[in-house]
Structure formats: structure tokens, C-alpha cells
Amino acid sequence: MSQFIINAEKDKIKTVETHTILDRIVAQKKERIIARMEHRSLNELVKLAESSPKPRADFEAALQSTPLSLIAEIKKASPSKGVICENFNPVTQARAYAKGGAQAISVLTEQDFFLGSDRYLTDVRDSVSLPILRKDFTIDAGQIYEARILGASAVLLIAAILPDEALKEFIDIAHSLGLSVLFEVHTMQELMRALDLNVRIIGINNRDLHTFHVDLATTERLAPMIPAGKTIVSESGIFTATDISRCYRSGVRAVLVGESLMRHAETENAVESAISNLFNDIPGRAGR
């Protein structure tokens, strides 16, 4: 049984300090997990996950299948930008991503700050064959079992919100369920923790989750410090072909792009064209 289970005493949650956006997101996530635990225990989630179909696509292998792979994100809103896509249709967007040449899809399921939903993930799962990353703020073991139940191929673990002991346990749980882990870092200290834990996929978030300030130089600074054999993903702040080229030159193997593609959601052709334009300067990807 996991020792990293949210304490179900609601008064414990009320004492959480909320100095930053990240603090508020995590505090609200705890509230939602407590509410879920009143209806479905961890043991129930474990049994459901173990009886669920295995992930049908390999997230890690997909990221290694091209010179620079695309994780295309389905995101309705964000704390910094508000609603990004008024005509939000996750299924239409996912199909456009698949047709446009994405290697994987990220689906935001965080409800309160990103207006995500588990339903978006299951709808996408039923409409495309690409591996799916469940993009959420994972702070409880039950969320990893939920990801398997929903049909995800990978989960996000954020170094900034979890101690090493929890990260190690969550990685072990994910791998036991056949799920890949995208381990997200933003600082050199967090990168060193990732390397100590021997994670295989390292996501460099160009956004500081405490301030939501974005700087692509974060990838350029950290990526060269990662040894060979790791799959490096650059996340956030990627809007142009120049941004993509900067990531590629830094040694990145995949990019996670959300907002710039969601703003082209009006037609399938617009999404395809946006993807093609982003990767126009990447050998082996131009013209896709």
C-alpha cells in the first residue's frame, strides 16, 4: 500500500498556504482527491487498473521514432491565458494532430485551473491510436492507477511538487502498470534529482510553475547537462519554427506544444498546416 495517500481529514487541507499559482493548484487538487476517496478507495482503483487493458501504444518509443517528435497538447485553458480555445472539441483536435504527424498527444485533465476533464482523455483514446499522456498534477498514488483506467500510456510527474521518496514510488507504480513517466524539471537541482532517480524521459519545462514566467533558455541551459540515453522533452513557450530549431539544436528529442496549436483549432487543415510550419526546418520532419 502506498504511503503517499492524501490525508482524508479536510481540516488538514485548509492549512495549506497558497502563495503561488502552483500552491493553489496543488491545494485544490488535494481537495478533489479527498472528495474522490469518499466514493472510491485506493484498493478499488488498484483492482480496476489491474483489470484494465494494457496501454495500447508505447509513449517512450513514439518519442524516439523521429529526429524530433511532437507531443501535441489538448488544452482548453490555462491560469495565465484563460480560455485558449472557444470552439473546444478534443476529438476533432486529436484527429487533426494525428493526421498532421504528431507522435503522441497530451491531454490536460486538471479541472479547476485548466478546465480539463478525464472525459476528454477517454474521448481522445477512443478516437486516435497515438499514445496519450495524462497531463495533471500528480500528488497521490491513486492518480496513477486512474491514468491506467482511463487508457493513458504515460503520466506526468513534477519534481517541484513531490519529494524524492514519493517520486520513486510513483515511478515504480507507473512502470508496474506499463505506463511511461514524463519527469518534469525546471531547475538544475530538479534535473540532478531526475538523474539520481534514473528516469528515462526528462521534460524540461520552460515555464516556472511558481511565477508562470516562460523562458526557452531553460531548455538551452539544462538539455546539454543530460547524459546520452535519456529522452529529452522541451515543454512550454514553443510557438514558432525558430523555437523548435532552438530546442533541436539543444539536443531535445521531443517538444510538447499546446497553446500555439490550440489557437489553430478552427479547421483540421489549419492544425496540419501549423504543425508543418513549426517543423519546417527540422531534417526528416519538413513537409509533414
User: Which of 273, 277, 265 is closest to 92 using CA atoms?
Assistant: 265
58 or 281, greater pLDDT: 58
Candidates 184, 220, 250, 260; catalytic one: 184
Beta bridge pairs of residue 233: 203, 254
Region 214-222 average pLDDT: 96
Per the model's pLDDT, the better-predicted residue between 194 and 283 turns out to be 194
pLDDT of residue 106: 98
Handedness of CA 76, 140, 25, 204 (dihedral sign): negative
Query: Annotated catalytic residue: which of 205, 206, 250, 260?
Result: 205
More confident residue, 21 or 238: 238
Task: Give the model's pLDDT for residue 218.
Answer: 97
- The 8-class DSSP code of residue 159 comes to G
Catalytic residue among 29, 30, 76, 135: 135
Q: Is the pLDDT of residue 20 over 90?
A: no
Average pLDDT over residues 227-243: 95
Judged against a pLDDT cut of 60, whether residue 35 lies above it is answered with yes
**Domain residue spans of the chain:** 10-278
Note whether 10 and 34 are within 8 A (CB): yes
**Whether pLDDT at 4 is above 90:** no
Q: Which one from 73, 110, 146, 220 is the annotated catalytic residue?
A: 73
Res 267 pLDDT > 80: no
pLDDT band at residue 17 using 50, 70 and 90 as cut-offs: very low
Of these residues, 29, 30, 75, 76, which one is catalytic? 75
Give the start-end residues of each E strand in 59-131.
69-74, 77-78, 82-83, 104-108
73 is catalytic: yes
235 is catalytic: yes
Q: What is the mean pLDDT of the chain?
A: 90
Instruction: Give the fold, CATH level 3, of 10-278.
Output: TIM Barrel (3.20.20)
Nearest-Å Rg of the Cα atoms of the chain is 18
**Structure confidence at residue 274 (pLDDT):** 86
- Whether pLDDT at 287 is above 80: no
Long-range contact set of residues 88-94: C-beta below 8 Å, sequence gap at least 24: 88/265, 89/265, 90/120, 90/123, 90/124, 91/123, 91/124, 91/127, 92/265, 92/268, 93/261, 93/262, 93/265, 93/271, 94/124, 94/127, 94/128, 94/130
Which of the following is catalytic: 78, 180, 234, 236? Answer: 236
pTM of the model: 0.91
How much is the pLDDT for 255? 97
Q: Can you tell me the distance from the alpha carbon of 203 to that of 254, in angstroms, rounded to the nearest whole number?
A: 9
For residues 195-201, average pLDDT: 97
Q: What average pLDDT score do residues 252-278 get? A: 86
The answer to whether residue 75 is catalytic is yes
Q: Say which of 230, 235, 250, 260 is annotated catalytic.
A: 235
Q: Check whether 51 has a pLDDT greater than 60.
A: yes
Span 257-269, mean pLDDT? 82
| H or E, element range at 158 | strand 154-158
Confidence of residue 45 (pLDDT cuts 50, 70, 90): very high
Tell whether the model's pLDDT for residue 10 goes beyond 60: no
CA distance 285 to 41: 45
Residue 39 pLDDT grade (very low, low, confident, very high; cuts 50, 70, 90): confident
Q: What is the mean pLDDT of residues 206-216?
A: 88
C-alpha cell at 21: 499559482
Q: Which of 107, 91, 111, 94 is nearest to 25 (CA)?
A: 111
Residue 27 makes CB contacts below 8 A (sequence gap 6+) with 13, 16, 18
In 3D, which of 158, 219, 218 has the Cα closest to residue 194? Answer: 158
Contact between 156 and 136 (Cβ < 8 Å): yes
Active site residue 184: yes
Phi and psi for 201 in degrees, rounded to 5? -115, 115
Over residues 120-132, the mean pLDDT reads: 98
